[in-house]
Structure 1
Amino acid sequence: MKHALLVAASLLWAPLSLDARETPPAVHVVEGQGCECCAKWTEHLQEQGFDVTTEDRFGVLLIQHKIALGVPAEHYSCHTGQIDGYFLEGHVPARDIRRLLEERPDAAGLAVPGMPYGSPGMGPEDRREAYDVLLIRKDGSSEVFTSYPAAGDI
């Protein structure tokens, strides 16, 4: 009888543990109030399987949030996400977020400064301008994490 219970329990547990490993951590996004591209980036993450929650903040409240997370001012964009101890500033592609979570660098987060055309939420990728995703270290320094060439340069 004990053996049957152990087998039944292991069959129930196996799918749960597999699903838990495959499910990315939740992303919380603080958006600029009324910003359409923020909502489009959130949609990009949801389409890529992320569980996303959002809230709107405006002006000083949004900037205070970025400062509290350690986002350097020169890397600001219109929205800021948080995932598993990292910040995500701007239109960071989902594939870079997955790589960040897989590699787990000793860093504060990722940033796509400004709002480059063709980044997720900022227009069609087939007309993308070149941009970099930056890895932001805890001391505020940065390095290129991923470079995306202009669509015509691919």
Structure 2
Amino acid sequence: MYVLTRFTALLLLLASSSVWALPLVTLYKDANCGCCQKYVAYLREHGFKVEAFDRADMGRIKQQYGVTRVASCHTALIGGYVVEGHVPVTAIQKLLQQKPAIAGISVPDMPTNSPGMGEMKPGTLTVYTIPAAGEMPRVFSVE
């Protein structure tokens, strides 16, 4: 009985800890973009809590977060990183687990095989790092 009680207490502690919680997603998007809304739904389906904000100044948002060279239709902030465009959850999870010293990741443009844009085809979507000024984007992963 004592072992069971300690085990239950440990489970409750772990469940209440932020170790198990996904970070909040703050996502900026154009109000008229349907694929952005599909991407928000995709993130929510995978357990993320998303606060989405319609913005008329997306160019300024992209400039603020340094994604003009790897831009897509929406910009998200997740766990201290910038996530630009239709990035698969698998790449976001890798980013959050590995915690590399980069600004974030991007799927530039709006590829048809990305989440929110149509049928995803595993192994065909290149995710890039968001480059610092003067640097070139590098491949972060292929999802």
TM range (shorter): 0.7 to 0.9
Residues 141, 16 of structure 1: alpha-carbon distance in 2 compared, 3 angstrom cutoff: farther
- 3-state DSSP class of the match of 1:42? helix
Using structure 1 for the length normalisation, give the TM-score. 0.79
- Kept in 1, the 8 Å contact 2:81–2:104? The answer is yes
**Cα deviation per residue 1:81-110 (whole Å; 9 max; x = unaligned)?**
001111010000011101000000000000
- Kept in 2, the 8 Å contact 1:27–1:83? The answer is yes
1:55 to 46, 53, 56: 53
Residue matched to 2:12: 15
CA distance in 2, matches of 1:100, 1:125: 20
**Cα deviation per residue 1:120-140 (whole Å; 9 max; x = unaligned)?**
0001125x8943100124445
CA distance in 2, matches of 1:83, 1:18: 21
- 3-state DSSP class of the match of 1:21? coil
Residues 121, 129 of structure 1: alpha-carbon distance in 2 compared, 3 angstrom cutoff: farther
Using structure 2 for the length normalisation, give the TM-score. 0.85
CA distance in 2, matches of 1:134, 1:91: 12
1:110 to 88, 105, 128: 105
2:65 to 69, 87, 95: 69
2:129 to 129, 135, 140: 135
1:67 alignment partner AA: Q
Larger Rg: 1
Whichever structure has more helix as a proportion of its residues is: 1
Residue matched to 2:22: 24
Uncovered stretches (5+) of structure 1, i.e. residues with no partner:
1-7, 149-154
1:18 alignment partner AA: A
CA distance in 1, matches of 2:22, 2:110: 25
Residues 9, 105 of structure 1: alpha-carbon distance in 2 compared, 3 angstrom cutoff: same
Residues 70, 9 of structure 1: alpha-carbon distance in 2 compared, 3 angstrom cutoff: farther
Matching of residues 82-97 of structure 1 within 5 Å: 82-97=77-92
RMSD over aligned CA atoms reads 2.6
CA distance in 2, matches of 1:129, 1:63: 30
Identity, in percent, stands at: 35
- 3-state DSSP class of the match of 1:53? strand
Residue matched to 1:46: 44
- Kept in 2, the 8 Å contact 1:117–1:129? The answer is no
2:94 to 92, 99, 114: 99
**Cα deviation per residue 1:30-69 (whole Å; 9 max; x = unaligned)?**
01121110011111110111111100012xx111111111
- The alpha carbon displacement at 1:11 in A equals 5.2
